[in-house]
Structure 1
Amino acid sequence: MRQQESEFVETVVHINRVAKVVKGGKNFSFSAVVVTGDGSGRVGFGTGKAREVPAAIQKAAEQAKREMIPVPMVDGTVPHKIWGRWGATKVLLRPASPGTGVIAGGGVRAVMESAGVQDVLTKIVGSRNPFNVVRATFDALTNLMTEERVRRLRGLEPVTPEKVEETPVEAPVETATDAEAAPEASAPAVAEKPAVAEEPTAEEAEG
């Protein structure tokens, strides 16, 4: 693994020497498989072939940068369990709890670390060919589903929480001053009896 241009991390997964038989003998060349990522959710891979190893690596790295894909992550791990397939190779990716680390080997580890995945559990089933392993890993990453992608495929509206401000309504509090100022309930008025003239006594009548 090497840091390139302080932006991408390049990992040479495999280098193979290829011989082509010609009339005058054999022509040797080298093929390379390189994984490149920015460590923040984007990764790509490429293959290159040349007569010299550095030239083959450079070609593979340039192809990897051109074909980078986004990697969905949730808290530093993959969002769900998924299988990737390529040829006779199958690769399993499983979410892991924080602190687990990258439990992987070979090309799978190179892809996970270059993408910036911090915790993941992986398993390789079938052929261990480095090229097939990398391709199967990318097949799994390409098919990862995010919540937004699932809602879009189901035809649902995206989740856009809106902040609703509610004005609290306070109940009026009656104070002692208000109670004193409030008019008191008056008692029902009693009708006054009309004044009755007093009748004169017998003595007053005789006089």
Structure 2
Amino acid sequence: MADLRKEEKNNTMVDYVVHVNRVTKVTKGGKRFSFSALVVSGDQQGNIGLGMGKSREVSLAIQKATNQARKNMIYVPRRGRTVPYRVEGRHCSSKVVICSASKGTGVIAGGAVRFVMEGVGIQDVLAKSFGSNNRLNVVKATFNALSKLRTVQTLARQRGKTINELVRGIDNGTAE
């Protein structure tokens, strides 16, 4: 039961309801329904968050998930409209491979990965998910991959080199 609609709030944040799950508990008096929602929230400027919410009503579950997603934001470095380099992420038995793409390619990715890429603001990317297609695990694997991305400035600072030394070393194939 996937609700794949896009919600605009505050004109800066974009929320994607990735999945809504219904759980039924059978009791002596009848059936009790409960819902859990998976929401990805981003500002399309490099910030993205993931949230899970549970409630007896769908709207409350989505609201709780959205609030949690906005509290747990991470920053994703980008290179123009794409990711800086190829990266892999894992969570449980799900694996996601994200590759940079040339301008005009668009977002070539499956449903759960697509929501994350659009929320971050990445417009040209190639992505493939392997293993389990559980939406929660695929989204968490995508977050794992995106959290591994670094900018050239960050890499140079970590290695104690200037950007020119780092780029020259990469071009010569001698980067450490």
Q: TM tier, shorter chain?
A: 0.7 to 0.9
Structure 2 residue aligned with 1:134: 139
* Structure 1 residue identity aligned to 2:89: G
Structure 2 residue aligned with 1:171: none
Work out whether 1:9 is the aligned partner of 2:14. yes
Task: Note the residue ranges of structure 2 that are not aligned, 5 or more in a row.
Answer: 1-5, 165-176
1:23: how far off?
5.0
More helix by share: 2
| CA deviation string 1:65-105 (max 9, x = no partner) | 00111111002100000001001100010000000000012
How many residues align structurally?
Answer: 159
1:22: how far off?
4.2
Give the secondary-structure state (helix, strand or coil) at the position aligned to 2:82.
coil
Give the secondary-structure state (helix, strand or coil) at the position aligned to 1:100.
coil
Work out whether 1:122 is the aligned partner of 2:127. yes
TM-score w.r.t. the length of structure 1 is 0.73
Identity across the alignment (%): 53
Alignment of structure 1 residues 76-115 onto 2, 5 Å = 76-115=81-120
Contact 2:106 2:124 in 1 (8 A): yes
* Structure 2 residue identity aligned to 1:127: S
* Structure 2 residue identity aligned to 1:78: V
Work out whether 1:58 is the aligned partner of 2:63. yes
Structure 2 residue aligned with 1:18: 23
Contact 2:40 2:50 in 1 (8 A): yes
Work out whether 1:35 is the aligned partner of 2:40. yes
When the two chains are superposed, the root-mean-square deviation of aligned CA atoms in Å is: 1.4
Give the secondary-structure state (helix, strand or coil) at the position aligned to 1:77.
coil
Q: Any runs of at least 4 consecutive aligned residues in structure 1 with deviations exceeding 6 A, and if so which?
A: none
TM-score w.r.t. the length of structure 2 is 0.86
| CA deviation string 1:139-180 (max 9, x = no partner) | 000011211221122133567xxxxxxxxxxxxxxxxxxxxx
Structure 1 residue aligned with 2:78: 73
Task: Note the residue ranges of structure 1 that are not aligned, 5 or more in a row.
Answer: 160-207
For the pair shown, the structure with the greater C-alpha radius of gyration is: 1
More strand by share: 2
Distance 2:77 2:118 in 1: 14
* Structure 1 residue identity aligned to 2:69: A
Alignment of structure 1 residues 162-177 onto 2, 5 Å = none
* Structure 1 residue identity aligned to 2:127: T
